[in-house]
Amino acid sequence: MDARDFIKRLWVLMLTVFVDMIGFLIVLPLLPFYAERLGAEPIDVGALVSIFAAAQLASAPLWGRLSDRYGRRPMILGGLMISAVSYLLFESASTVWLLYLSRFVQGMGAGTVGVVQAYLSDSVPPADRAKALGWLTAATSAGVMIGPAIGSLAAAYGLIGPGYLAAILCVLNLLFAWKWLPESSSGEPGKRQQAPKGATRRTMIEFLRHPKGRVGALVWIYALGMMAFMAMNGVLALFLERRFGVNEKTIGWFFVYVGGISLVMRSVVLGPMVRRFGEVWVMRAGALAMALSLATIPLSRNFFELAFAVLLMPVGTALLFPTTTSQVSRRAPVNQTGLILGVQQAFGGVARMLGPLWAGAAFQQVGIRSPFWIAAGVMMFVRVFAGSVRDEKEPPAEAVEVEPTQPPETS
């Protein structure tokens, strides 16, 4: 595959995730307000965020393994179809339990995140993966910037239900991807050696037993960083409502601000920083920026102070998550990229599930500032732990692969 083909596939994939993220963010910022309207409490709002992560946790390794066997493209299309169904459920929900169901279905569709990353790994040379992941996440950031504004406008003027609008966009995106998104060369059935039977379970156990391993450390950094980030997301809308009077008609503009910063970071800043300082250094800087943001958000007394504190969050996530995923894909065995990235998303799924749960409980029982400070402590630990990760250019202390120590089973 030549460079022009790489670029073409990257742009098609970017447009696919861009439209998908618009649909996702049309409904997500409205979720706390819809839930409270149906009688939910803060701990329920956290649980609604968590159930999405639980479904993602259950489905991500399966999506990854299926993509290794049957190809990336069918799994990406399947995820889009499931997402469209979830948005219809969201719009028709008349009870909190139906909101739970819509979030669970949506999480099942979102379990293909690891497949998208594996598609990118198939199509981009290792040296360019961090930059390509930065562009891909820049596309999602553009969706983060546009989707909430559309959702708030839909909530304000009521011309069409936000859930119906998200479902329509998802169906159009599905048709576009079916027409223009080809299968990745390494992801085509028969071209990729299959991971041994039981590899998902054994790889998870390996990362649990050896959290400081060459790949395991990166997976844990990703998971803990995601837990802190999702803890903030689980209660942020409620915090803004109580401290600054934000509601479903105005919450979207907050996300526009965050998405715009993230877009600039991922599309303009990330690539040069990686070239100048290396992925590991950039990853450590991202963890520190997130810790500072989480510590200062609850101290904000007005919108100007809040804007400065929040500024550090998209900076941190843009530096931390793409570089971590790039390092994982670089160090994974060549025939298990989809599997390893799926396992990474599974660990991230646990983090996404736990973070909003304890954040919602702390918000309700301890105080509205407590979730942010707890999450800041987690990110400081992540920063210290990231200091033990060696740069890929340096020889590893131990030549340990992520494959399990037990003999592989035959399929």
For Cα atoms 282, 287, 292, give the angle at the middle one, nearest 5 degrees. 125
Distance CA 125, CA 339 (A): 19
Determine contact, residues 322/286, Cβ cutoff 8 Å. Answer: no
- In this prediction, residue 186 carries a pLDDT of 55
**pTM of structure:** 0.72
| DSSP symbol at 265 | I
- In this prediction, residue 185 carries a pLDDT of 59
Q: Give the chain's domains with CATH numbers.
A: 3-179+195-386 (1.20.1250.20)
Going residue by residue through the chain (411 aa), what tens digit of pLDDT does each one get? 556 676 777 888 888 888 888 888 888 888 888 898 888 888 898 899 889 878 877 887 788 888 888 888 899 999 999 999 999 999 888 899 999 999 999 989 887 877 887 888 787 776 677 677 767 877 887 787 888 888 888 877 766 788 899 999 999 999 998 988 888 755 444 445 555 556 767 887 888 887 888 888 899 999 999 999 999 988 998 999 999 988 888 888 888 888 888 888 887 898 899 889 988 999 999 999 999 999 999 999 998 999 999 999 999 999 999 889 888 878 777 667 777 877 887 788 788 889 999 999 999 999 999 999 999 999 999 999 998 887 755 433 333 333 333 333 332
- In this prediction, residue 315 carries a pLDDT of 94
| Contacts for 232 with CB less than 8 Å, ≥ 6 apart | 294, 297, 313, 359, 371, 372, 375
- In this prediction, residue 407 carries a pLDDT of 30
Distance CA 71, CA 407 (A): 26
Question: Which phi-psi region, left, alpha or beta, contains residue 190 (left: φ > 0; alpha: ψ -120 to 50)?
Answer: left
Locate tokens 């989480």: which residue?
294
Environment class of 101 (CB within 10 Å of its CB; exposed 0-12, middle 13-18, buried 19+): middle
Beta bridge partners of 409: 197
Q: Which amino acid is at 358?
A: W
Locate tokens 């080809």: which residue?
182
Q: Which of 20, 45, 38, 26 is nearest to 240 (CA)?
A: 45
